[in-house]
Structure 1
């Protein structure tokens, strides 16, 4: 969102039954939304929400699955994490979401990506991914979200809402790598993992964490999504 306009109808580009937290957050902000992977007319919507999900198909950023020989170098917990992620890839879903994202960008419509949604934004603009974070223990889901501090860059959408420092909730073992064209990284965890980004020219924003289940202040949530 982040367009500074009255947003009347948001598309959640996800599968029915898998986006409840995002739907609840938008409903709390009194925003009309549609959850669908079929878009006939982008002009029907005022903005796009790209939700979180599993691991991104590595073929989308020119890489292959992590080989078993490399997986075995990690701790037992990390081995399970990587194998589970690679077993549950959703290549078709990834490609549909990327196509929807590119269509919204073509029309310069506001886009907000969360977790995997942020990663897809970076990929859409030619960036790549870190298939497994060296510090995954601080970020991956373990019975509950991991909480850690993050630093917001000045002149960023996150700085506008939260100032320079905040606590975020993590549930991921992958992260963005090289930034895509026009992508600016605007939030970092203490270990250097990127937690937020925005596009230099388009109304495209993303966070690696989950504001839809972290932020209980509706006014701040509206400000983060730039809903007026």
Structure 2
């Protein structure tokens, strides 16, 4: 079994037995055959050594100081810079270790910002688009070269709980899905095991099981490669 570190949210589901975390993330990972572990006070490097992969979860807006923002601060709803610093440290530690990182919603945006990409800071203000908040369902389309082709249908409906989104992708990131109104909904990195989705697959039990199995496969391949690299010559 492979262990995946899950970043902790400030706000938690009152029904969740996991402090600071919605039950959905842990259940989805466990159902896919992964063992979820919650981020702790250990150093980012220690946690990257101990775990096989990292999942950056959803939540509030990324603190503007961590990306090139331009809207007035009052238009943004950030409130947890300590979480931002922790997750950025974890992201860079797992990146340095060559281990997979997956991002959901805010987590996807954080990954893009950390690598030098930009964000739509408020879709309503900047695009006049209010169709992505409140859990509303909408269709996404997978391009021909999407890493999700064969995992999800070429056109499928996902949920939506965000008012921000990735605007310009960081160098190396490739679009895997877009909404029918042109908002980027998923990406992967050309050479690194980095994957992000803008929707919340953990809230779509059954419909997104294949996505979590796909992620498990990425973790397994990386772990197997690392195991083979450690074998002494002749074995």
TM-score (norm 1): 0.81
Cα pair 2:5 2:54 within 8 Å, conserved? yes
Aligned to 2:38: 35
Per-residue CA deviation, residues 105-158 of structure 1 (Å, 9 max, x unaligned), is 1111011100000001101110111110125421011xxx11000011223222
Partner of 1:201: 191
Q: Contact conserved, 2:121 with 2:165, CA < 8 A, in 1?
A: yes
Does residue 157 (structure 1) correspond to residue 150 (structure 2)? The answer is no
Residue pairs, 1:6-155, within 5 angstroms: 8-15=2-9, 16-40=19-43, 41=46, 42-63=48-69, 66=72, 82=75, 86=77, 88-133=78-123, 134-141=127-134, 145-155=135-145
TM-superposed deviation, 1:218: 7.1
What is the aligned partner in structure 2 of residue 78 from structure 1?
Answer: none
**CA RMSD, Structure 1 to Structure 2 (Å):** 2.0
* TM-score normalised over the length of structure 2: 0.79
TM-fit CA distance, 1:19? 3.2
Following superposition, the deviation at residue 178 of structure 1 comes to: 1.5
TM-aligned CA deviation for residue 38 of structure 1: 3.2
Partners of 1:37 and 1:55 in 2: CA distance: 22
Alpha carbons 2:202, 2:208 under 8 Å: kept: no
Q: Distance in 1 between matches of 2:162 and 2:200?
A: 10
Q: Which residue of 1 aligns with 2:14?
A: none
3-state DSSP class of the match of 1:109? coil
Paired residue for 1:76?
Answer: none
Decide whether aligned partners of structure 1 residues 135 and 188 sit closer, same or farther in structure 2, where only a CA change above 3 A counts: farther
Point out the more displaced range, 35-44 or 110-119: 35-44
Deviation at 1:30, TM superposition (A): 3.4
Could you list the runs of 5+ residues in structure 2 that have no partner in the other structure? 10-18, 221-235
Matches of 2:176 and 2:128, distance apart in 1: 19
CA–CA separation in structure 2 for the residues paired with 1:147 and 1:67:
29
Q: Say how many residue pairs are matched.
A: 203
**Partners of 1:30 and 1:185 in 2: CA distance:** 27
Structure 2: how far apart are the matches of 1:162 and 1:31? 20
Q: Which SS does the other structure have where 1:162 is aligned?
A: coil
